[in-house]
Structure 1
Amino acid sequence: MTMMDTGVEDRYPTRVTGEAHPIDRVDPTVWGGEGDGPIDAATLAAHDARGYHIVEETLSPAEVQGYWQELVRLSGDPGLRGDERVITEKRSGEVRSIFEVHRISPLISELVRDPRILDRARQILGSEVYIHQSRVNYMPGFRGAGFYWHSDFETWHAEDGMPGPRAVSCSIALTDNYPFNGGLMVMPGSQRTFVPCVGATPDDNYKASLKEQEIGVPTEQDITALAAEYGIDQFTGPAGSALWFDSNIMHGSGNNITPYPRSNIFVVFNSVENTLVEPYAAAKPRPSFIGGRDFTPVTR
């Protein structure tokens, strides 16, 4: 635990010089109880232990088709060409992600307010919530690039100023997730260990990291140790399934060299009791389309 120059306590120091050592998490994984939302006690306990849970058939087949058509529409929208919220693949130039999509798409704006999504986020975080980040991800067949192992919270803490890991992500699959098309891998239980990263944050690091993250990733030794302790699970399942996972869980994905695309809607909810301050390890905050600074609670 350290103190920033501003006098703000930093419970999770990262982007350090020299050798970094893992830190035991001091915050809960689950903040609410069974009576606070739709998640039953057994699933809450599993989420608390593993840092994630899966809800199959969150969306119906008809809804999946509707959201898939929305992704196609967004990727071909000439009004979004050149928009900084649109991230392209480093090598192919194809659309990789579109950020702040809940402000771009009325359809997705409705989805983040849907009780099936919003009530579950409130229950896990034990409070009202706001959207820290939203995006749609396109992982096309043959050319979809993966992401190296990382903790989202490490980046959100260092570059956005998120004080603690009281945030949860929801990834809703719009295509079938197979073991062979770049499905997300997680280390169950690893959310209990914060892994600091070595190296200072470059200015405007987000411009490179959204295509391929190089700063804010753990060492191979750290990954080896975590894998030995926690093992690795992979998110597979049919379109319409939703993966809910803790902000600090170690996760990553491989390249997709199959013909089968892997696309999803991704929403990060943060507690209104965990709103952003100045970045803990960057000169200035990332743009608000990546790390939202509108802390208005999401309502139906």
Structure 2
Amino acid sequence: MTLTDTRVEDSYPTRIAGQPELMDRMDPTVWGGEADGPGDAADLASHDAKGYSIVEGLLSPAEVQGYWQELVRLSSDQELKADERVITEKASGEVRSIFEVHRISELISELARDPRVLDRARQILGSEVYIHQSRVNYMPGFRGSGFYWHSDFETWHAEDGMPRPRAVSCSIALTDNYPFNGGLMLMPGSQRTFVQCIGETPEDYYKTSLKEQKIGVPTEDDITKLAAEHGIDQFTGPAGSALFFDSNMMHGSGNNVTPYPRSNIFLVFNSVENALVEPFAVSKRRPGFIGSRDFTPLSR
């Protein structure tokens, strides 16, 4: 059970001992309107239905090159590799992710405040926003390992104390995303169903789950039901494309056994009206670099 100072009703119970259920979502997917940002009515209706939007050419080729060089610089920083915010591949030891990257890199901090990104996040969430989590992901050729099917909100709710799925993730591709190099797979419309997960969360679970998650993942039966109902889409496209997707979207990625690496910048925006409370399914907060408790609204 949660040790909490601020009593908040748990509207999305998970990490349970019994039979998991598929629960209808009680919250909107899109909170803002056409007047609140760059998306028109059709864009917002599509995002509401599918739970995600793709913006092609968000970054120019020159910008992509600049951010790619920044990723190379960060992954080559020997002092940074000793930092807890750097996650390495379980098998190869290569850099897999660097968390809280908007505080490490001034370039990426500026990107999080770029109107092309920030204004769309504000529109989807219908409020001011802050960065709940940021990271850069590296999936090298031949050895890049994927992520099993999961909902980010399930983890952020259980382990960080995010009350409701009023958060949106922005994944910006810095390499071409092909159907065969471990591109992100999504179940369109699955954001409308909260999938309970079974099992008790081990203490300091983030230390292993960021490399391979085993608790907080749906059963195979539930994944099969969702896939049968919603099907599976994949985020593909040239470098510079961006994917905005709902925090409760069921998604995952396969291993990359091709020669083509896949890297992206990942920014999670949470509504300031959805600030974290105490975790709902663990007794101890995760570190701030994974689930920030600085709720200061982002400004340009």
Alignment TM class, shorter chain as reference = over 0.9
Answer yes or no: is 1:179 the counterpart of 2:179. Answer: yes
Counterparts of 2:180 and 2:30 in 1: how far apart (Å)?
Answer: 31
Counterparts of 1:4 and 1:37 in 2: how far apart (Å)?
Answer: 38
Counterparts of 2:171 and 2:163 in 1: how far apart (Å)?
Answer: 23
Give yes or no for contact 1:101–1:134 (8 Å, CA) kept in 2: yes
Counterparts of 1:179 and 1:261 in 2: how far apart (Å)?
Answer: 12
Partner of 1:211: 211
Letter in structure 2 aligned against 1:244: F
Partner of 2:284: 284
Give yes or no for contact 1:34–1:40 (8 Å, CA) kept in 2: yes
Counterparts of 2:2 and 2:71 in 1: how far apart (Å)?
Answer: 43
Partner of 2:42: 42
Partner of 1:88: 88
Give yes or no for contact 1:22–1:194 (8 Å, CA) kept in 2: yes
Counterparts of 2:20 and 2:2 in 1: how far apart (Å)?
Answer: 17
The structural deviation recorded for 1:4 is: 8.4
Give yes or no for contact 2:2–2:280 (8 Å, CA) kept in 1: no
Counterparts of 1:85 and 1:3 in 2: how far apart (Å)?
Answer: 25
Partner of 2:220: 220
Counterparts of 1:5 and 1:137 in 2: how far apart (Å)?
Answer: 32
Counterparts of 1:31 and 1:245 in 2: how far apart (Å)?
Answer: 14
Partner of 1:98: 98
Counterparts of 1:126 and 1:191 in 2: how far apart (Å)?
Answer: 17
The structural deviation recorded for 1:79 is: 2.4
Partner of 1:135: 135
Partner of 1:159: 159
Give yes or no for contact 2:150–2:252 (8 Å, CA) kept in 1: yes
The structural deviation recorded for 1:18 is: 1.4
Give yes or no for contact 2:161–2:278 (8 Å, CA) kept in 1: yes
Within 5 Å, give how 1:188-203 maps onto structure 2: 188-203=188-203
Please say which of residues 149-158 and 72-81 is displaced more in the overlay: 72-81
Q: Percent of aligned positions with the same letter in both sequences?
A: 81
CA deviations 1:56-82 (Å, max 9, x no partner) are 000000000000000000001122021
CA deviations 1:129-169 (Å, max 9, x no partner) are 00000000000000000000000000000000000000000
Unaligned stretches of 5+ residues in structure 1: none
Give yes or no for contact 1:4–1:10 (8 Å, CA) kept in 2: no
Partner of 1:241: 241
Counterparts of 2:54 and 2:47 in 1: how far apart (Å)?
Answer: 9
CA deviations 1:42-63 (Å, max 9, x no partner) are 0100000000010000000000
CA deviations 1:191-233 (Å, max 9, x no partner) are 0000010001100010000000000000000000000000000
Counterparts of 1:78 and 1:204 in 2: how far apart (Å)?
Answer: 25
Give yes or no for contact 2:130–2:272 (8 Å, CA) kept in 1: yes
SS for the counterpart of 2:244 is strand
Deviating beyond 3 angstroms after TM superposition, the runs of 4 or more aligned structure 1 residues are 2-7
Counterparts of 1:153 and 1:69 in 2: how far apart (Å)?
Answer: 31
The structural deviation recorded for 1:248 is: 0.1
User: TM-score, normalized by length of structure 2?
Assistant: 0.98
Partner of 2:72: 72
Letter in structure 1 aligned against 2:265: I
SS for the counterpart of 2:214 is coil
Letter in structure 2 aligned against 1:267: L
Counterparts of 2:79 and 2:294 in 1: how far apart (Å)?
Answer: 24
SS for the counterpart of 2:270 is strand
Partner of 1:51: 51
Unaligned stretches of 5+ residues in structure 2: none
CA deviations 1:222-267 (Å, max 9, x no partner) are 0000000000000000000000000001000000000000000000
The structural deviation recorded for 1:5 is: 7.2
The structural deviation recorded for 1:285 is: 1.0
The structural deviation recorded for 1:283 is: 1.2
Give yes or no for contact 1:15–1:196 (8 Å, CA) kept in 2: yes
Partner of 1:251: 251
Counterparts of 2:47 and 2:37 in 1: how far apart (Å)?
Answer: 14
User: TM-score, normalized by length of structure 1?
Assistant: 0.98
Q: 1:284 to 1:30 in 2, by over 3 A?
A: same
Counterparts of 1:115 and 1:5 in 2: how far apart (Å)?
Answer: 36
CA deviations 1:15-62 (Å, max 9, x no partner) are 000111111000000000000000111010000000001000000000
Letter in structure 2 aligned against 1:207: K
Task: State the Cα RMSD in Å.
Answer: 1.2
